[in-house]
Amino acid sequence: MKKTNWGIMATGKITESFANALNAVPDACLCAAASRSIEKASAFAEKFGAVKAYGSYEELARDGNVDIIYIATPMSCHYENVKLCFEYGKNVLCEKTLTLNGSQLEELIGIAREKGLFFMEAMWMKCLPHFKKALEWYREGRIGSIKAIKADFSNACDYDENDRLFRNDLGGGALLDLCVYPLSLVTSFLGFDYKNIMSAVHIGGENVDMNEAIIMQYEDAFASIFTGFCAENENRAVIIGEKGRISTNPWFFCTDTVRLYDKSGALVEESITPHIKNGYEYEIIEAQKCLNEGLKESPVIPLPDTLKILRIMDGLRNDWKFRFDGE
Ligand SMILES: NC(=O)c1ccc[n+]([C@@H]2O[C@H](COP(=O)([O-])OP(=O)(O)OC[C@H]3O[C@@H](n4cnc5c(N)ncnc54)[C@H](OP(=O)(O)O)[C@@H]3O)[C@@H](O)[C@H]2O)c1
């Protein structure tokens, strides 16, 4: 297998977990790290063994040895950062949400396709074994037709006016940061042909959505989602079918455990696949597999689905009369 040379753009919280995972993936090489500050880039490169450090994102995009760039800046920066990478012909794995809104993403997908570049959302949940197992059980008919899905993601986050989570100008808010997970889960099982979507929101912080409750009504099923920064929840996902149910461990998007129950509630099967490192390795393996096979889009995280999810979020924000700076 050919080695894949990775560049990491930004040195924030998530990049540390990503770099740790990258260093555990066979055939992955951490080639370069870039920050807006050369001191931060150098410290990061030294800590994680990157060959080069750059004090600007453009230098990373220009590096001819880099095959793919992982972008982990705040949401409001993704559109410009991805465009910069595409300008220099770089493949991109970018953190969720890929952009602030559907229009920005549509434009980026157009550029990637025109230039023949690989482009994928770092929706790591969809690459994890427990999530694939849950989908497999459902597709095998083990729970019959789905009647309801319940998926919450609520965190206790201390308010900090400088944190991207609470800043409108950085694309903060629970919808883009957290709700993208339950929406990705629900649409993976029930698709996008819902009949109705209802929601309620609390706007706070520096004008961002702090909590939201969402109900999606399908022909014969409901999905219920609660996301927010207000308090720590169990954060399980339960997929309820007419013949049984599938239930994840807490923190449904990153756990290693999922269980199948029959109609009477008895446990039928349990699937546990311990993470190789911390779970982020699976999205890295998926991106490398696509690059090695010459795929420009991942079949596990299809770009058209990523776009449809952003469009759902556009619709919700429209209902809430909530916009990001510059939109
Ligand atoms: N998959 C996951 O589990 C997961 C978890 C957390 C976050 N995320 C995603 O990863 C991305 C980053 O999240 P994070 O929690 O790592 O954020 P963070 O700690 O705030 O770091 C963001 C980094 O982006 C860079 N940056 C560029 N322009 C910036 C600006 N105008 N203001 C602030 N920072 C700027 C900075 O790096 P430099 O100073 O080095 O340039 C900063 O350290 C988001 O898209 C988020 O949704 C994913």
pLDDT of residue 103: 98
Q: What amino acid occupies position 61?
A: A
Q: Does residue 77's CB lie within 6 angstroms of at least one atom of ligand 1?
A: yes
pLDDT of residue 2: 82
- What does the alpha-carbon distance between residue 200 and residue 202 come to, in Å, rounded to a whole number? 7
For the chain, what is the mean pLDDT?
97
Q: What is the average pLDDT across 147-175?
A: 96
* pLDDT tens digits along 43-59: 999 999 999 999 999 99
pLDDT of residue 256: 98
**pTM of the prediction?**
0.98
Measured from the CA of 164, which atom of ligand 1 is nearest? 20
Domain stops at, among 243, 259, 278: 278
Distance 169 CA to ligand 1 centre (A): 13
pLDDT of residue 19: 98
Distance 86 CA to ligand 1 centre (A): 20
Distance 145 CA to ligand 1 centre (A): 39
Q: Does residue 128's CB lie within 6 angstroms of at least one atom of ligand 1?
A: no
Within a domain: 13: yes
- Same domain assignment for residues 216 and 201: yes
- Same domain assignment for residues 106 and 9: yes
Q: What is the average pLDDT across 299-323?
A: 98
What's the CATH number where 39 sits? 3.40.50.720
- Same domain assignment for residues 180 and 85: no
Is 90 exceeded by the pLDDT of residue 326?
no
Domain stops at, among 238, 263, 278: 278
- Same domain assignment for residues 45 and 186: no
Is 90 exceeded by the pLDDT of residue 40?
yes
Instruction: State which residues form the domain around 205.
Output: 129-278
Contact criterion met (CB below 8 Å) for 258 and 248: yes
Distance 11 CA to ligand 1 centre (A): 7
Q: What amino acid occupies position 138?
A: Y
- Test site for ligand 1: of 13, 16, 38, 77, most ligand atoms within 8 A of the Cβ: 13
The vertex-185 CA angle with 116 and 93, nearest 5°, equals 30
- Residue 199's φ and ψ, nearest 5 degrees, are -155, 160
- What does the alpha-carbon distance between residue 127 and residue 143 come to, in Å, rounded to a whole number? 22
Within a domain: 15: yes
Q: What is the average pLDDT across 217-243?
A: 97
- Same domain assignment for residues 116 and 256: no
Nearest of 275, 304, 325 to residue 125 by alpha carbon? 275
- Same domain assignment for residues 96 and 69: yes
Q: Does residue 164's CB lie within 6 angstroms of at least one atom of ligand 1?
A: yes
CA distances from 113 to 4, 87, 120, 308 (A): 21, 13, 12, 17
DSSP structure class, residue 289: H
CA distances from 316 to 31, 152, 240 (A): 40, 17, 25
* pLDDT tens digits along 111-139: 999 999 999 999 999 999 999 999 999 99
* pLDDT tens digits along 56-106: 999 999 999 999 999 999 999 999 999 999 999 999 999 999 999 999 999
Domain stops at, among 123, 149, 169: 123
- Residue 285's φ and ψ, nearest 5 degrees, are -60, -40
- Same domain assignment for residues 263 and 154: yes
Q: Does residue 279's CB lie within 6 angstroms of at least one atom of ligand 1?
A: no
- What does the alpha-carbon distance between residue 119 and residue 91 come to, in Å, rounded to a whole number? 6
Known active-site residue 277: no
- What does the alpha-carbon distance between residue 138 and residue 245 come to, in Å, rounded to a whole number? 9
Is 80 exceeded by the pLDDT of residue 205?
no
Number of domains in the chain: 2
Within a domain: 308: no
Q: What amino acid occupies position 54?
A: Y
Q: Does residue 195's CB lie within 6 angstroms of at least one atom of ligand 1?
A: no
Distance 9 CA to ligand 1 centre (A): 9
Contact criterion met (CB below 8 Å) for 322 and 200: no
Is 90 exceeded by the pLDDT of residue 206?
no
Contact criterion met (CB below 8 Å) for 6 and 29: yes
Q: What is the average pLDDT across 203-227?
A: 95
Measured from the CA of 176, which atom of ligand 1 is nearest? 47
Q: Token digits for 239?
A: 């997929």
pLDDT of residue 148: 98
Q: Does residue 74's CB lie within 6 angstroms of at least one atom of ligand 1?
A: yes
- Same domain assignment for residues 224 and 110: no
Q: Token digits for 109?
A: 């997908």
- Residue 48's φ and ψ, nearest 5 degrees, are -110, 5
- Same domain assignment for residues 70 and 143: no
If pLDDT is split at 50, 70 and 90, which confidence band does 1 have? low
Q: 167 pairs with which residues across the strands?
A: 206
Within a domain: 189: yes
Measured from the CA of 77, which atom of ligand 1 is nearest? 28
Q: What is the share, in percent, of the chain residues with pLDDT greater than 70?
A: 100
- Same domain assignment for residues 263 and 183: yes
pLDDT of residue 275: 97
Within a domain: 267: yes
Q: What is the average pLDDT across 10-35?
A: 98
What's the CATH number where 176 sits? 3.30.360.10
- Same domain assignment for residues 144 and 99: no
Contact criterion met (CB below 8 Å) for 125 and 181: yes
If pLDDT is split at 50, 70 and 90, which confidence band does 242 have? very high
Distance 232 CA to ligand 1 centre (A): 22
- What does the alpha-carbon distance between residue 79 and residue 116 come to, in Å, rounded to a whole number? 18
Within a domain: 297: no
- Same domain assignment for residues 114 and 253: no
Measured from the CA of 95, which atom of ligand 1 is nearest? 45
* pLDDT tens digits along 257-304: 999 999 999 999 999 999 999 999 999 999 999 999 999 999 999 999
Q: Quick one: CA dihedral 25, 249, 299, 93, positive or negative?
A: negative
- Residue 272's φ and ψ, nearest 5 degrees, are -125, 120
- Test site for ligand 1: of 78, 99, 164, most ligand atoms within 8 A of the Cβ: 164
> 96, 126, 133, 150: which one is catalytic?
96
Within a domain: 24: yes
Q: What is the average pLDDT across 208-215?
A: 97
Within a domain: 309: no
